[in-house]
A and B are shown apart, each in its own frame.
Chain A
Amino acid sequence: MNEISKIEPAALRFEAPPSTSLLAHARHVVAENPVTGFAFGLFALILLAAIFGPWLVPYDPLASNTNSALQGPSAAHWFGTDQLGRDIFSRVVAATRLDFSIAVASVALVFLLGGLAGVMAGFFGGWVDTLVGRIADTIMAFPLFVLAMGIVAALGNSVTNIVIATAIINFPLYARVARAEANVRREAGFVQAARLSGNSEWRLLLTQIVPNIMPIMAVQMSLTMGYAILNAAGLSFIGLGVRPPTPEWGIMVAEGASFIVSGEWWVAFFPGLALMTAVFCFNLLGDGVRDLVDPQRRN
């Protein structure tokens, strides 16, 4: 029926790169960079501990046994016991769920609020941009950890407030990244084309801009996860937020700190190691996540 379609040169079809499945792409990303594979493995381990940890541990993380207080690592107690005779391995594993949840919740919150505010600032410009910019500047004017301390102290000592405080101090980071990314795409050809297709400005924002800045936001989220865990542990360390005897890495390090001098290093060492591993894992994950979600990299 159409003459032009018949003269389609065979070369045009030949030129198009073949598509790749997500799984095959993931395999390639991991094969190309073994560090990414390692980070994903570590992440799976953390996830496993967070979900199933409390059922897998050999001892009740809260049960104290003064007879076996402050014992070094052994076959019975892999990471040793603390001053109340609680099994440190069980406590470290059980704490994963709480620390991980705080980090995920705060990152999700700041991604929604900071990301959206930043995208709006970059896309609409004008007074929205000014407003978001000034809010971010105000937050950045404080030393961030001190600000988090202040927020938790003012709002009250609870896990919810740690989540809120961690989200607030990360707000400028998300708002700025999202703003910059949205701003460069504001006048992109595909956005103009969508405008011609009759999309409203809000729909442009949500269907054209947001999906295209997801790769960079995913990297950002992975990096702040580590920071959020550190921040939550830090607040607990100084006695804000989670309260003992709840197993939590920050509290455990704080409690163990006083025993380092007397030679019982394992009380603080193993929760600290867990904390470090988690932060390390999320930082490594950033690059891998970008490679995985960026459609341009998929051929």
Chain B
Amino acid sequence: MNAPPLLDIRNLTVEFATRRGTVQAVKAIDISVGKGETVAIVGESGSGKSVTSYAVVRILDRAGRVADGSISFSGIDLVGASEAQMRDIRGREISMIFQNPRAALNPIRKVGRQIEDVLLQHVRATRATAREKAIEALEKVRIARPQERYDAYPFELSGGMCQRVVIALALACQPQLLIADEPTTGLDVTTQKAVMDLIVELTRERGMSTILITHDLGLAAAYCDRVVVMEKGRVVETAGAAEIFRHPQHPYTRKLMKATPRVGMSLHDLLPEGAPASGTAAASAPARAPGAGPLLLVENLVKEYPRPAQGSFLARLAGKAEKPAEPFRAVDGIGFSVERGETLGLVGESGCGKSTTSMMLNRLLDPTSGRILFDGEDIGAIPARRFAASPFRRRIQMVFQDPTDSLNPRFTAERAILDPILRMGAIRGGAALRARCEELAQLVGLPVELLDRFPHQLSGGQKARVGIARAIALDPDLVILDEPTAALDVSVQAVVLNLLDDLKQRLGMSYIFVSHDLNVVRLLCDRVIVMRSGQIVEQGSAEEVLGAPKAAYTKELLTAIPHPPA
């Protein structure tokens, strides 16, 4: 009844040789992909999902090897195939799309040329027809004005545009199997939707099979026929997309589903069953000076950047540049307020000015004009260079997006957490500092024995906790959270979001939560501001803005979130 599958992975085991002996990254897994089928491999970091795909196209790095099992692709044994055979198969029979499209393209070659290279390599075009076929390929991935874009360099295109070029490259030779490894991570939701729609449509149209590797269960279920869930190198569950959402069998799948934020659930719903209710300690919040008016009031805030001078290179060299262009307004006259004890969500796609705004609010960047009133005082008037010495510094803190990048690789966790206290705190003396550090570690749920470790000896979730402990070390009034969970797995994200909410109630802080993930914003925020091109499109209570949006742009953002089949 069944035709033989296009790709058949049996009992595959992949080992990596490391300093501490061999590690099995993939343990005896079976996956098959039928002709024309779209299969998602879902799992968190370290689950072995990428390694599996690398083993299929045989691009494992040198320390890794297939220890056991077989991979057969339309009858060809990929494990035993020679390197020459593999070169022929890659690109022509199986092609891949990687996570970072900009890194996958040659930065100094025109995108049209790069498509031509692939066509010529696999003899799909001759010198005479290459250009025409490349433009045709660009047209197919719906790049507007393909004739012009043929001559564009990757840096001249947006992230979504680059990913389309990569798709064009991957599909140029009409392969039978497309492996997409986190193709939309790092792209905005509206771009993600466009890219995913495009991939699914193009592959269906050609009867191709697709493997989508993702950490996002919602994305997998919305776009794929079948979902394979992996955990720690093992396949724990395989089922139809609708089926897996209705009746998840394995406890890990259930945990993963529960941790994925969706409409109509509370923050606590994200945690695994049996977790204690949070927020019970609200009564212990330290009494803060009530103060009059809002904690933060922003009025007509503007940040301008000069645009590079126009004109040709030679004209500029000769000093004959045309008169400088209008400065670029990254933030264009916005105004809002943050009440005491409130969480304000700042939402928008990349380039909308939300990061610039948060950098101005935490006084790392000077505004061009406008006022930032913190507790009635215009802190925008204090230059960013001198703000470190201001008494307001300790009252505004921040949690950064990338927990790895925001920790000094040469500081231990303890030293990182204590840094603000050493500079601005009142606590002196080794024992007292250590005690405060352990108290903070307990508050954020970081095991005390990890305090002496360096960042590279900590996991992503642990590093995020160190960053949070550092931000709350001085008991600030306002904490700016810049996508604090964007780099974390969903199950870790669930715990960190609950931790943040719990800390807020416990310590009575206000949050500004900067994010592109509307589902997360819905859970955590009281009020929401939607930004686009430096301006506020819509603001109001979270229920209003995300439940019954008025602005067309907000509606567009909301519909772009992948909705799993109900």
- Name A residues whose Cβ lies closer than 8 Å to a Cβ of B: 1-9, 12-13, 15-19, 28, 188-190, 192-201, 203, 207-208, 211-212, 295-296, 298-299
Contacts and interface: CB of A to CB of B under 8 A. Distances in A.
Nearest to A7: B275
Contacts of B456: 17, 295-296, 298-299
B404 to A, nearest CB: 8
Given A12-B461, A189-B402, 18 more contacts: A2-B443, A3-B276, A3-B280, A7-B445, A8-B445, A8-B495, A9-B491, A15-B462, A189-B400, A192-B364, A193-B400, A195-B388, A198-B393, A201-B385, A211-B408, A295-B409, A295-B456, A299-B19
Contacts of B276: 3, 6-7
A88 B254 CA distance: 80
Given A196-B398, A198-B388, A199-B423, A190 B405 contact: yes
A12 B362 CA distance: 31
A42 to B, nearest CB: 26
Contacts of B423: 197-199, 203
21 contacts: A1-B442, A3-B502, A5-B443, A5-B446, A7-B271, A7-B272, A15-B46, A16-B462, A17-B456, A189-B400, A190-B407, A190-B408, A190-B409, A192-B406, A194-B419, A196-B396, A196-B397, A196-B398, A199-B423, A200-B388, A295-B409
Contacts of B453: 16, 19
Interface centre among A8, A194, A197, A296 (most CB of B within 10 A): A197
Contacts of A6: 276, 445
A207 B442 CA distance: 27
Nearest to B423: A198
B389 interface: yes
B405 A188 contact: yes
A5 B46 contact: no
Contacts of A199: 388, 419, 423
Contacts of A201: 385, 388
Contacts of A188: 405
Given A15-B46, A19-B457, A9 B495 contact: yes
A295 B458 CA distance: 13
Nearest to A188: B405
A196 B447 contact: no
B301 to A, nearest CB: 19
Interface of B: 19, 46, 271-272, 275-278, 280-281, 362, 364, 385, 388-389, 393-394, 396-398, 400-402, 405-411, 419-420, 423-424, 442-447, 450, 453-454, 456-459, 461-462, 467, 470-471, 491-492, 495, 498-499, 502
A7 B280 CA distance: 15
Contacts of B271: 7
Count chain A CB atoms within 10 A of each CB in B19, B362, B398 and give the residue with the most. B19
Contacts of B19: 28, 299
A15 B459 contact: yes
Nearest to A15: B459
A130 to B, nearest CB: 19
Contact of A295 (B393, B454, B461, B462): B454
Contacts of A7: 271-272, 275-276, 445, 495
Contacts of B445: 2, 4-8
Given A3-B277, A12-B461, A198-B389, A189 B406 contact: yes
Contacts of B446: 5
B562 to A, nearest CB: 26
A188 B272 CA distance: 35
Contacts of A198: 388-389, 393-394, 420, 423-424
A193 B469 CA distance: 12
Given A4-B495, A299-B457, A197 B470 contact: yes
Nearest to B460: A15
Given A2-B445, A299-B19, A196 B420 contact: yes
Contacts of A18: 457
B8 to A, nearest CB: 31
A212 B409 contact: yes
B274 to A, nearest CB: 9
Nearest to A296: B456
Contacts of A296: 409, 456
Contacts of B442: 1-2, 5
A13 B457 CA distance: 11
Most buried by A among B398, B408, B471: B408
A299 B457 CA distance: 8
Which 4 pairs show the lowest CB-CB distances between chains A and B?
A189-B406, A5-B445, A189-B405, A15-B459
Contacts of A295: 409-410, 454, 456
A193 B399 CA distance: 8
Contacts of A5: 442-446
B406 A212 contact: no
